[in-house]
Structure 1
Amino acid sequence: MVKWTQTVTAKVLGIGVLALLMTIPLMQVSGLVSERQQLRETAVAQIAQGWGGQQVLGGPVLTVPTLTQLMAVDNRPPQTLSGSESMLADELKMDVALAVQTRSYGIYTAPVFVSTVKISGQFRAQDLAQFRRASNAQWQGSKAELRLPIGDLRGLQEVSELLINGRPARFDSSADRLGPWSNVVVPIDLDALADQPIDVEINLKLAGTESLQLLPLARSTDVAMRAPWRDPSFIGAALPLEHQLDAKEFSAHWHMLDLNRSYGQHWTDAGNGLDGALQASTFGVQLYQPVDVYQRNVRAGKYGLLFIAMTFVAFFLFEVLKRLRVHPVQYLLVGAALATFYVVLLALSEQIGFGLAYTLAAIAVVFIVGGYAMAVLRARRAGLLLGGVLGLIYAMLYGLIAAEQYALLIGALVLLVMVALMMYLTRRIDWYAYVPMTAGPTTTGSASTEPPVPPPAIMERS
């Protein structure tokens, strides 16, 4: 009596279980990719440690110390509460030119830059008078200061010019912060200005790693930026009004109003959600690296199970249609070779780039699996054909990885075609038939006493 486990259907189910088992090494490879990506992030942090991290730069903010008289309670003498109030400029213009280079830490690289920034801002006299009248506290105008927020002070290389109403001044360090960012400050005497406007001119050099974001700290903020980098990623609260890209550089222009942000021109102290509002208003550019090997390795791994299953299906079709037989251990060995492809791809791509690494890893696995198929199926033509099918599969996988925006569409069409092809090739298979045995070599002089194993039954057309 024929056992159910000897049917073609049982073989298909067994192959499916083997394919699912291959998710274990694929998950291990995915974890390895994440680990290597974390090592790269650690290397980038080491580069930023001595150069300057991801930078944020704002315009000058006028901060005035205040004294508030509290009402007497229970016959106690009145108390005086010290604080501060800040106001923003009416106009702010920033001209930013980035000089970009790539720095390495071991095998890892990161784009770094030195930005030459020209800042000009104006505080109107009528705004100063209005905010002073609207304040419930006493302004200490002689102790006011202009603060310039900077994300990472380690990157501040030079302040070549600082002019306040045409007179040179000098920044000092400060422990005070604006939101999450540090400040450099310059004292200013509002009482001596006698309700005059304040014009500020700043020229500086600021170094950083991977990204530069700006703060719209004025009623009207106008920013022009340019850099020799062909793959900018514009990030933050606002996209540029206009930008130009070519093979070597980009330029961009932003214009923001106070109406485009969630905080006003004047506030008392910090808090009340101001930190979050300031962070949400940043905008700028990230020096995007489109050839990031880890992103592509992650995307390749997502299709790992699909392509292992497709390779197993190709072996199964040869096994059934050519009346051969492949042992489950041989399927596992083929699956192990396919999983090893992703480890080799990761290791090589860190050294020689993703495209060349993918080509070399795919060629190696195609030759290994194709040669093994020749031995297992005992047919050179079958091995060559399976090797060609596997090469075609890797070519399709690379197309899916390269087609970032159309990967889902291409993958869906490929999957549909493969399912249709499998249905066409297996349309005449009797799934209740015996599993075929591989035909052995003939022996001269004696006849085998074993009865021949019948081939899979073929359903007749009606």
Structure 2
Amino acid sequence: MIAWTQTVTAKVLGVGVLALLMTIPLMQVRGLVGERQQLRTDAISQIAQGWGGKQVLGGPVLVVPTLRQVAAEGQATPRWQAGSASMLADALKLDVAMAVTTRSYGIYTAPVFVATVKLGAQFRAQDIAEYRHASDAPWQGGKAELRLPIGDLRGLQEISDLRVNGQPTRFESSADRLGGWPNVVVPIDLDVLGDQPIDVQISLKLAGTEALQMLPLARVTDVTMRAPWSDPSFIGAALPLEHAIDASGFSAHWHLLDLNRSYGQHWTDGDAMTAALQASTFGVQLYQPVDVYQRNVRAGKYGLLFIAMTFVAFFLFEVLKRLRVHPVQYLLVGAALATFYVVLLALSEQIGFGLAYALAAAAVVVLVGGYAMAVLHARRAGLLLGGVLGLIYAMLYGLIAAEQYALLIGALVLLAMVALMMYLTRRIDWYAYVPTSTEPPAAIMGQS
């Protein structure tokens, strides 16, 4: 009586176990991709250290010192406590023109920019008078400041013009922060200005890496931005009302009201504003469409599926043509297939993903096809398996390229492969003895 371990069913289960074992090198490859991604992130951080990181730019905020009475526990006489009150402008307009280049650190590159910004902000006299008297803590107007939040002060290259009510002035450094971002400040004396409106005009150059975002720090905020970058990604709390993108670059226009954000026109230093301010940023990220690591990750997600499909192809030749393939030979084929992802990662960092994919796939197809000729003792079988493997890699590339339809295409391909396997194995006796190379050959696959 033939042992169950020598049946075709047992062979199928053994091949399945071998395919699952191949998840170990695939997981190692995925870890390698993550490691290379981290190296790229570190390289971008190095570029940003000398140039300026992801930038955030707001409008000027009027910050006024306050003095309020606080009842102290156990004391009959209240004590005075110093604080501050912040007030936003009535209108804020920013015109931003970005000059974009790329900088390299080793083999890694990142888009960097220099933004020429023209900023205008107006504080209404009515608002100043209203908030001065409406606050529960009296304003101490003699030491007020106009604070301009900037995400990374290392990128502040030039301030070509700064005027408050038409009078030229200059920024001073400050240890205070607004929403977690550092500030540059302009001291002003509200006692001298009285309840006059405040008009602020600023021209500056701000350098940064990968992204530039704005803060809607006014009752009405208008931002116009343009750059010679054809792959912008609009990010943050608001999308542009209008935008145009072509091969020469993009332009975009935002228009936001105070009703579009989660905080009002004024607050005191006791209010928790950091999270609300950070959640209100909006702007653009200079997207790099050829992200080799993202594509390597997506290719690796289908690794087990395509190793299993290749093993199935070997198994079908083994059963239908009554050949014999040893488990070690399956493992060697699986190792070659797993090596594809390492070669793809290494080449794509140097020559781009498309060409790297073609070279890595061709190398593995030739390697596995040639090995199949030797293992199956049939040149035609080796060529056919190589062609099948080439078709599999072509389908994988289609899945990687079709970002939005990858799941649909993958599901249809999987369904077609299962249907094909069911058709080819419809007459196999799964209890039969595993074929040997000394037995007479069965009918060819097309006649099974």
| TM band (smaller chain) | over 0.9
Alignment of 1:55-66 (within 5 A): 55-66=55-66
Matched, 1:105 2:112: no
Q: Which runs of 5 or more structure 1 residues have no equivalent in the other structure?
A: 440-451
Alignment of 1:282-301 (within 5 A): 282-301=281-300
Q: Alpha-carbon deviation of 1:80?
A: 1.6
Map of 2:34 onto structure 1: 34
Q: Which runs of 5 or more structure 2 residues have no equivalent in the other structure?
A: none
Q: Distance in 2 between matches of 1:355 and 1:134?
A: 64
Q: Which amino acid aligns with 1:399?
A: G
Q: Which amino acid aligns with 1:366?
A: V
Matched, 1:44 2:44: yes
Map of 1:328 onto structure 2: 327
Q: Secondary structure of the residue that 1:326 maps to in structure 2? A: coil
Whether contact under 8 Å (2:321, 2:441) holds in the other structure is: no
Q: Secondary structure of the residue that 1:139 maps to in structure 2? A: coil
Map of 1:427 onto structure 2: 426
Q: Distance in 2 between matches of 1:244 and 1:77?
A: 63
Q: Which amino acid aligns with 1:191?
A: D
**What are the superposed Cα offsets for residues 79-103 of structure 1, whole Å, 9 maximum, x if unpaired?**
2211110100000001111111100
TM-score normalised by the chain length of structure 1: 0.94
Q: Secondary structure of the residue that 1:238 maps to in structure 2? A: coil
Mark the CA change 1:408 to 1:94 in structure 2 (over 3 Å): closer, same or farther: same
Q: Which amino acid aligns with 2:3?
A: K
Q: Distance in 2 between matches of 1:343 and 1:282?
A: 39
**What are the superposed Cα offsets for residues 281-321 of structure 1, whole Å, 9 maximum, x if unpaired?**
00011111110000000000000000000000001111111
Whether contact under 8 Å (2:239, 2:254) holds in the other structure is: yes
Matched, 1:88 2:73: no
Q: Distance in 2 between matches of 1:73 and 1:249?
A: 62
Q: Distance in 2 between matches of 1:259 and 1:11?
A: 68
Q: Which amino acid aligns with 1:87?
A: M
Map of 1:344 onto structure 2: 343
Alignment of 1:430-441 (within 5 A): 430-439=429-438
Q: Which amino acid aligns with 1:168?
A: P
Q: Distance in 1 between matches of 2:75 and 2:231?
A: 68
Whether contact under 8 Å (1:263, 1:277) holds in the other structure is: yes
Mark the CA change 1:71 to 1:362 in structure 2 (over 3 Å): closer, same or farther: closer
Q: CA RMSD in A?
A: 1.7
Identical positions, percent: 81
Q: Secondary structure of the residue that 2:182 maps to in structure 1? A: strand
Q: Secondary structure of the residue that 1:65 maps to in structure 2? A: strand
Q: Which amino acid aligns with 1:217?
A: L
Q: Distance in 1 between matches of 2:321 and 2:248?
A: 56
Q: Distance in 2 between matches of 1:261 and 1:422?
A: 57
Alignment of 1:221-240 (within 5 A): 221-240=221-240
**What are the superposed Cα offsets for residues 46-77 of structure 1, whole Å, 9 maximum, x if unpaired?**
00001001111000000011112345876665
Q: Secondary structure of the residue that 1:229 maps to in structure 2? A: coil
**What are the superposed Cα offsets for residues 403-431 of structure 1, whole Å, 9 maximum, x if unpaired?**
00000000000001101011111111111
Alignment of 1:380-391 (within 5 A): 380-391=379-390
Q: Which amino acid aligns with 2:382?
A: G
Map of 1:449 onto structure 2: none
Map of 2:212 onto structure 1: 212
Alignment of 1:114-193 (within 5 A): 114-193=114-193
Q: Which has the larger radius of gyration?
A: 1
Whether contact under 8 Å (1:297, 1:346) holds in the other structure is: yes
Q: Distance in 2 between matches of 1:342 and 1:20?
A: 17
Q: Secondary structure of the residue that 1:186 maps to in structure 2? A: strand
Q: Secondary structure of the residue that 1:392 maps to in structure 2? A: helix
Q: Secondary structure of the residue that 1:161 maps to in structure 2? A: strand
Q: Secondary structure of the residue that 1:117 maps to in structure 2? A: strand
Map of 1:447 onto structure 2: none
Q: Secondary structure of the residue that 1:83 maps to in structure 2? A: strand
TM-score normalised by the chain length of structure 2: 0.97
Report how many aligned residue pairs link the two structures.
446
Map of 1:418 onto structure 2: 417
Q: Alpha-carbon deviation of 1:273?
A: 2.8
Q: Distance in 1 between matches of 2:64 and 2:81?
A: 14
